[in-house]
């Protein structure tokens, strides 16, 4: 008997040893069932280095449990196992949690399933009724089909089909549980690329042909046609018979984009996101593993699908914060996509109109190939951006739209063009307070105010999701009708716009409005067709959409993202504002953008107005360099949490005392984390800052992380945190 190591998809640091019985054949990568305590659980053979009977003394070997059986399915690709090892080392996460990212589609872990079906048989039909003939005509085409499907197509009852099976005119058969993905047609709807698009596409295609790692930063203004460029690269990969993965921030994974893919390639891509039903997930997972699904369009977790033969990854909107996972293995999908491409030796495309400072500097210093598209496609011009200084144009009490913005919207209404009002805040009002006693409604288990939602008349916590009915009386002083909404959310802007423009057709789009995919698509289509005058939305509407009639964008509170004081806040706000601004004037008509702000002189607003991104990035980079912050230095955060704040603080201090002192490595904290109290747990943060090449992981493991949390204490490691403070 051999001893092999099996990794389980649990919070375990390493693979466990099991005996491999002689009658079970399993090797590295195979899925196997093993006993764990009284449970039976599926894991993956991680190491099989030939250790055998002689390796362990009989006594210790007798304690080892045996593998129960091998699961009849394709083994995990070796490069994916290597990738998991790398990711978990980098983020100091238990390896089992890395495997869990791959295996979190339990339905797909097992033999391929077949379902009962019927096909044309050799028996004779006794009485060829109209219904029977109809069924047989369809069956004659030769496809194996479910009984119900056949009956539906023939518009008869299942009983008719059953009858034909009984007389042998149809025979029973088996068919795979899931339909195959159709192969995209590379030349279905070729766009003729503009010169700059062509030059970018051919550079990427060269790297694909050379089958080598190269990272491209596809840096093009909004509407310059970046998508068409990477579609050309996808076509090239397909010609090589390889698979491609396009990552999008979850929020941009709308039907819009899938539709666009279908228009270009004639078939649907394989989608991957959190909204997929179980069956759909299983179908994609298996088709990716078998190599049958060629193109996957997915959210960050698609990086952990078991690709059979991946040849290209595209990370669209690469700057987006949604690529960072905020629990479990806290990986950054863009960074890990670079690692994966490098490891497997294929090219990678990072696309954005406002790259992350990290990628921008990598392109400037030559580590990435910089591809630029500086004009909009088809002669459309960039929008003109102006600030509305709210110090000069004071808002009326309880109103949030300034006079210049209202006038501009009126002018657009008169012209029959669309306006978009953007506010990155869901709900009606971010805070409710009692005018009599000053009581503020806060979440009992988080550091957050409760947000009023008028559509369901509830006060909700956006961090933990709890909600309460909005009361009439103040819970503290019992005063009646004294509760006031403070500040705006999109629902409130909708209300104000309705009162201001009673004749206009207004659409509100926010993730709170529960809609199925088809309904959302219908609304987006009708907006694109011009069947709406004013669109009001959160960041859901900022990304990816192309509304030809939209020529004015009003940003209700341009200062919103700057409030929290994080050193990355400027970059982030600029990226979001630029993205929203990029919705205006994407076709022939000139677009304009009005930013309502109290700080028109801030670097972000100045850069937006002057449309001088690179000067802004240069200044940001300079500030980061002075502070030793990424990408000029490295950061790691340790979040210690407990139900008792003191316990968390005490443990954090004890951890710090274990850290080896090294010049140039600075420990900040412990301090309450940015969300210091969430779901009833206090969170305390330690931040370590070190020079660029410093081996942060080794230093953490040999010092602070040697202290093991007990009781309700938890320690979460965040390598390269997305928020700096
Ligand atoms: P980006 O992703 O850079 O913001 P898109 O790829 O969405 O830009 O392109 C903007 C618009 O221009 C889209 O409507 C797209 O269909 C159109 N477009 C881009 N390139 C071409 C092309 N080569 N031929 C025809 N239309 C194009
Ligand atoms: Zn809460």
Pairing of the two strands 534-537 and 418-422:
parallel
Residue 575 lies in a domain: yes
* Pocket test residue of 189, 225, 374 for ligand 1, highest count of atoms within 8 A of CB: 225
- Pure H helices in 243-331: 255-265, 278-290
**pLDDT attached to residue 546:** 84
Contact 580, 555 (CB under 8 A): yes
**pLDDT attached to residue 662:** 94
Neighbours of 277 (CB within 10 A): 8
Closest CA to 570 of 700, 682, 725: 725
Closest CA to 110 of 67, 65, 69: 69
DSSP type of residue 95: H
- Global pTM reads 0.91
Closest CA to 185 of 229, 241, 260, 235: 235
Nearest ligand to the CA of 191 is 1
How much is the average pLDDT of 89-96? 97
How much is the average pLDDT of 23-29? 94
Nearest ligand to the CA of 449 is 2
Task: Give yes or no: residues 465 and 585 share one domain.
Answer: no
Q: How far is the CA of 721 from the centre of ligand 2 (A)?
A: 22
The minimum-distance atom of ligand 1 relative to the CA of 197 is 23
Residue 186 lies in a domain: no
Residue 350: its H or E element: strand 348-352
Output the domain CATH number for residue 129: 1.10.10
Binned at pLDDT 50, 70 and 90, residue 126 comes out as confident
State which of 80, 103, 126 marks the end of a domain: 103
Task: Give yes or no: residues 549 and 585 share one domain.
Answer: yes
CA dihedral for 454, 458, 459, 461, sign (positive or negative): negative
For atom 5 of ligand 1, which residue has the closest CA? 225
Closest CA to 243 of 315, 180, 179, 306: 306
Give the least confident one: 398-402, 563-567, 654-658, 695-699. Answer: 563-567
Q: How far is the CA of 663 from the centre of ligand 2 (A)?
A: 40
Q: How far is the CA of 201 from the centre of ligand 2 (A)?
A: 47
Output the domain CATH number for residue 677: 3.30.70.600
Task: Give yes or no: residues 417 and 566 share one domain.
Answer: yes
* Pocket test residue of 194, 222, 223 for ligand 1, highest count of atoms within 8 A of CB: 223
How much is the average pLDDT of 408-428? 95
Provide CB contacts within 8 A for 257, sequence distance 6+: 248, 297, 544
Neighbours of 719 (CB within 10 A): 20
**pLDDT attached to residue 253:** 66
For atom 14 of ligand 1, which residue has the closest CA? 546
**pLDDT attached to residue 256:** 78
Residue holding tokens 């939209």? 550
Binned at pLDDT 50, 70 and 90, residue 176 comes out as confident
State which of 621, 645, 661 marks the end of a domain: 621
The minimum-distance atom of ligand 1 relative to the CA of 226 is 3
Residue 109 lies in a domain: no
* Pocket test residue of 377, 380, 549 for ligand 1, highest count of atoms within 8 A of CB: 377
Nearest ligand to the CA of 448 is 2
Binned at pLDDT 50, 70 and 90, residue 242 comes out as very high
**pLDDT attached to residue 689:** 95
* Pocket test residue of 227, 229, 246, 261 for ligand 1, highest count of atoms within 8 A of CB: 227
For atom 18 of ligand 1, which residue has the closest CA? 225
Output the domain CATH number for residue 28: 3.40.1440.60
Q: How far is the CA of 222 from the centre of ligand 1 (A)?
A: 9
Task: Give yes or no: residues 346 and 216 share one domain.
Answer: yes
State which of 469, 487, 505 marks the end of a domain: 487
The minimum-distance atom of ligand 1 relative to the CA of 194 is 23
Binned at pLDDT 50, 70 and 90, residue 143 comes out as confident
How much is the average pLDDT of 510-522? 74
431, β-bridge pairs: 486
Which DSSP string do the residues of 698-716 spell out, in sequence order?
Answer: HHHHHTGGGSPP-TT-EEE
Q: How far is the CA of 102 from the centre of ligand 2 (A)?
A: 30
In the predicted structure, residue 602 carries a pLDDT above the cut 80? yes
For atom 25 of ligand 1, which residue has the closest CA? 191
**pLDDT attached to residue 62:** 66
How much is the average pLDDT of 402-407? 97
Task: Give yes or no: residues 474 and 496 share one domain.
Answer: no
What gap in Å lies between CA 154 and CA 139, rounded to an integer? 10
Task: Give yes or no: residues 528 and 592 share one domain.
Answer: yes
Residue 187 lies in a domain: no
Binned at pLDDT 50, 70 and 90, residue 61 comes out as low
Ligand 1 site residues (CB inside 6 A) read: 191-194, 197, 220, 222-228, 377-378, 546
Q: How far is the CA of 453 from the centre of ligand 2 (A)?
A: 15
The per-residue pLDDT for range 323-334, each reduced to its tens digit, is 999 889 999 999
CA dihedral for 653, 654, 657, 663, sign (positive or negative): negative
What gap in Å lies between CA 177 and CA 283, rounded to an integer? 9
Q: How far is the CA of 635 from the centre of ligand 1 (A)?
A: 38
Share of the chain above pLDDT 70, in %: 97
Task: Give yes or no: residues 244 and 369 share one domain.
Answer: yes
Neighbours of 700 (CB within 10 A): 20
Task: Give yes or no: residues 519 and 592 share one domain.
Answer: yes
For atom 6 of ligand 1, which residue has the closest CA? 225
Q: How far is the CA of 434 from the centre of ligand 2 (A)?
A: 20
Task: Give yes or no: residues 505 and 560 share one domain.
Answer: yes
**pLDDT attached to residue 421:** 97
Share of the chain above pLDDT 90, in %: 77
3-class secondary structure, 131: helix
Q: How far is the CA of 416 from the centre of ligand 1 (A)?
A: 24
Output the domain CATH number for residue 584: 3.40.50.300
Q: How far is the CA of 269 from the centre of ligand 1 (A)?
A: 19
Task: Give yes or no: residues 314 and 223 share one domain.
Answer: yes
Domain count, the chain: 6
For atom 20 of ligand 1, which residue has the closest CA? 225
* Pocket test residue of 196, 218, 228, 231 for ligand 1, highest count of atoms within 8 A of CB: 228
Question: Residue 36, exposed/middle/buried by CB under 10 A (0-12, 13-18, 19+)?
Answer: middle
- Which segments of 106-256 are extended strands (E)? 114-120, 170-176, 215-220, 243-247
Write out the two tokens for 704.
Answer: 């602070």
Q: How far is the CA of 310 from the centre of ligand 1 (A)?
A: 26
In the predicted structure, residue 641 carries a pLDDT above the cut 80? yes
Q: Which residue did the predictor score with more confidence, 440 or 675?
A: 440
**pLDDT attached to residue 514:** 65
How much is the average pLDDT of 304-324? 96
Neighbours of 309 (CB within 10 A): 14
**pLDDT attached to residue 724:** 74
Pairing of the two strands 458-460 and 666-678:
unpaired
Phi and psi at residue 592, to the nearest 5°: -140, 160
Contact 305, 342 (CB under 8 A): no
Neighbours of 393 (CB within 10 A): 12
Pairing of the two strands 592-597 and 467-469:
unpaired
The minimum-distance atom of ligand 1 relative to the CA of 192 is 23
The torsion angle over the Cα atoms of residues 365, 368, 372 and 377, rounded to 10 degrees, is -160
Task: Give yes or no: residues 406 and 463 share one domain.
Answer: no
CB-based neighbours (< 5 A) of ligand 2, an ion: 443, 446, 461, 463-464
What gap in Å lies between CA 196 and CA 542, rounded to an integer? 25
Residue 707 lies in a domain: yes
Q: How far is the CA of 445 from the centre of ligand 1 (A)?
A: 46
Residue 627 lies in a domain: no
Nearest ligand to the CA of 679 is 2
**pLDDT attached to residue 362:** 97
For atom 26 of ligand 1, which residue has the closest CA? 191
3-class secondary structure, 33: strand
Q: How far is the CA of 197 from the centre of ligand 1 (A)?
A: 10
Q: Which residues of 546-576 are buried (b: 16+ CB within 10 A; e: fewer)?
A: bbbbbbbbbbbbbbbbbeeebebbbbbbbbb
For atom 24 of ligand 1, which residue has the closest CA? 191
Q: How far is the CA of 248 from the centre of ligand 2 (A)?
A: 28
Integer-rounded Cα Rg, in Å, for the chain is 29
In the predicted structure, residue 2 carries a pLDDT above the cut 90? no
Q: How far is the CA of 449 from the centre of ligand 2 (A)?
A: 8
Write out the two tokens for 142.
Answer: 């030769």
**pLDDT attached to residue 542:** 78
What gap in Å lies between CA 356 and CA 350, rounded to an integer? 10
Binned at pLDDT 50, 70 and 90, residue 621 comes out as very high
3-class secondary structure, 457: coil
For atom 19 of ligand 1, which residue has the closest CA? 225
Nearest ligand to the CA of 463 is 2
Q: How far is the CA of 450 from the centre of ligand 2 (A)?
A: 8
Task: Give yes or no: residues 204 and 317 share one domain.
Answer: yes
The minimum-distance atom of ligand 1 relative to the CA of 227 is 6
**pLDDT attached to residue 391:** 96
Sheet bearing 467-469, strands edge to edge: 451-453, 458-460, 467-469
What gap in Å lies between CA 531 and CA 67, rounded to an integer? 62
In the predicted structure, residue 513 carries a pLDDT above the cut 80? no
In the predicted structure, residue 313 carries a pLDDT above the cut 60? yes
In the predicted structure, residue 375 carries a pLDDT above the cut 80? yes
Contact 21, 38 (CB under 8 A): no
Q: How far is the CA of 382 from the centre of ligand 1 (A)?
A: 14
Nearest ligand to the CA of 226 is 1
Binned at pLDDT 50, 70 and 90, residue 515 comes out as low
Residue 309 lies in a domain: yes
For atom 17 of ligand 1, which residue has the closest CA? 225
What gap in Å lies between CA 570 and CA 559, rounded to an integer? 10
Nearest ligand to the CA of 441 is 2
For atom 9 of ligand 1, which residue has the closest CA? 225
**pLDDT attached to residue 60:** 61
Q: Which domain holds residue 443?
A: 428-487
Nearest ligand to the CA of 380 is 1
3-class secondary structure, 445: coil
In the predicted structure, residue 110 carries a pLDDT above the cut 90? yes
Nearest ligand to the CA of 465 is 2
Query: What's the chain's average pLDDT?
Result: 92
Residue 333 lies in a domain: yes
**pLDDT attached to residue 384:** 95
Give the least confident one: 21-35, 44-58, 118-132, 649-663. Answer: 44-58
């Amino acid at each position: 008997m051999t001893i092999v190591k099996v990794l389980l998809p649990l919070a375990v640091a390493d693979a466990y040893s099991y005996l491999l019985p002689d009658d079970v054949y399993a090797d590295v990568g195979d899925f196997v069932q093993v006993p764990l305590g009284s449970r039976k659980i599926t894991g993956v053979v991680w190491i099989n280095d030939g250790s055998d009977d002689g390796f362990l003394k009989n006594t210790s070997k007798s304690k080892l449990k045996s593998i129960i059986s091998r699961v009849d399915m394709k083994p995990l690709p070796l490069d994916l196992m290597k990738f998991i090892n790398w990711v978990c080392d980098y983020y100091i996460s238990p390896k089992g949690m890395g495997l869990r990212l791959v295996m979190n589609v339990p339905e797909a872990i097992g033999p391929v399933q077949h379902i009962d079906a019927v096909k044309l048989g050799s028996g004779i039909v006794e009485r060829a009724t109209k219904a029977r003939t109809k069924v047989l005509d369809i069956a004659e085409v030769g496809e194996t089909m479910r009984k119900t499907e056949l009956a539906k197509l023939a518009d008869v009852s299942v009983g008719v089909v059953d009858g034909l099976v009984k007389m042998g005119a149809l025979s029973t058969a088996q068919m795979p549980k899931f339909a195959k993905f159709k192969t995209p047609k590379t030349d279905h709807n070729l766009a003729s690329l503009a010169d700059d698009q062509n030059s970018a596409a051919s550079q990427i295609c060269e790297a694909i042909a050379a089958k080598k790692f190269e990272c491209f930063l596809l840096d093009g203004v909004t509407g310059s046609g970046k998508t068409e460029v990477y579609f050309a690269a996808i076509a090239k990969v397909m010609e090589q018979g390889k698979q491609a993965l396009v990552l999008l921030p979850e929020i941009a994974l709308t039907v819009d984009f899938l539709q666009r893919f279908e228009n270009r390639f004639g078939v649907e891509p394989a989608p991957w996101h959190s909204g997929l039903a179980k069956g759909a997930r299983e179908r994609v997972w298996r088709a990716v593993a078998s190599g049958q699904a060629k193109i996957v369009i997915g959210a960050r977790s698609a990086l952990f699908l078991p690709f059979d033969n991946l040849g290209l990854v595209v990370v669209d909107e690469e700057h987006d914060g949604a690529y960072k996972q905020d629990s479990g293995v806290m990986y950054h999908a863009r960074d890990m996509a670079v690692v994966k491409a490098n490891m497997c030796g294929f090219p990678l495309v990072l696309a954005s109109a406002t790259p992350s400072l990290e990628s921008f500097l990598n392109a400037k210093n030559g580590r990435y190939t910089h591809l630029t598209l500086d004009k909009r496609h088809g002669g459309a011009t960039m929008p003109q951006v102006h600030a509305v200084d709210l110090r000069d144009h004071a808002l009326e009490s309880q109103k949030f739209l300034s006079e210049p913005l209202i006038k501009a919207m009126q002018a657009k209404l008169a012209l029959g063009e669309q306006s978009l009002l953007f506010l990155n805040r869901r709900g009606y009002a971010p805070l409710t307070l009692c005018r009599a006693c000053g009581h503020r409604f806060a979440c009992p288990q988080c550091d957050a105010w409760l947000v009023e939602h008028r559509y369901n008349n509830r006060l909700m916590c956006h961090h933990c999701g709890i909600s309460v009915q909005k009361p009439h009386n103040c819970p503290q002083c019992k005063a009646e009708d004294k509760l006031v909404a403070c500040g705006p959310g999109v629902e409130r802007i909708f209300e104000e716009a309705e009162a201001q423009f009673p004749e206009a057709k207004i659409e509100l789009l926010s993730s709170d409005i529960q809609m199925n995919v088809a309904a959302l698509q219908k609304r987006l289509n009708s907006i694109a067709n011009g069947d709406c005058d004013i669109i009001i939305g959160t960041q859901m509407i900022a990304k990816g959409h192309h509304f030809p009639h939209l020529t004015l964008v009003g940003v209700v509170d341009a200062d919103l993202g700057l409030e929290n004081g994080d050193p990355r806040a400027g970059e982030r706000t600029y990226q979001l504002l630029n993205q929203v601004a990029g919705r205006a004037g994407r076709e022939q008509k000139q677009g304009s953008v009005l930013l309502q702000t109290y700080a028109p002189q801030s670097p972000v607003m100045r850069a937006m107005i002057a449309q001088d991104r690179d000067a802004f990035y240069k200044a940001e980079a300079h500030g980061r360099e002075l502070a030793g912050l990424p990408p000029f230095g490295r950061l790691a955060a340790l979040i210690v949490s407990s139900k008792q704040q003191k316990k968390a603080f005490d443990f954090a201090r004890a951890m710090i005392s274990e850290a080896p002192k090294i010049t140039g490595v600075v420990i900040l904290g412990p301090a309450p984390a940015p969300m210091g109290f969430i779901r009833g747990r206090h969170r305390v943060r330690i931040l370590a800052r070190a020079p660029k090449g410093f081996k942060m992981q080794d230093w953490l493991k040999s010092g602070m992380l040697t202290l093991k949390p007990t009781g309700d204490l938890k320690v979460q490691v965040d390598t390269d945190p997305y928020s700096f403070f």
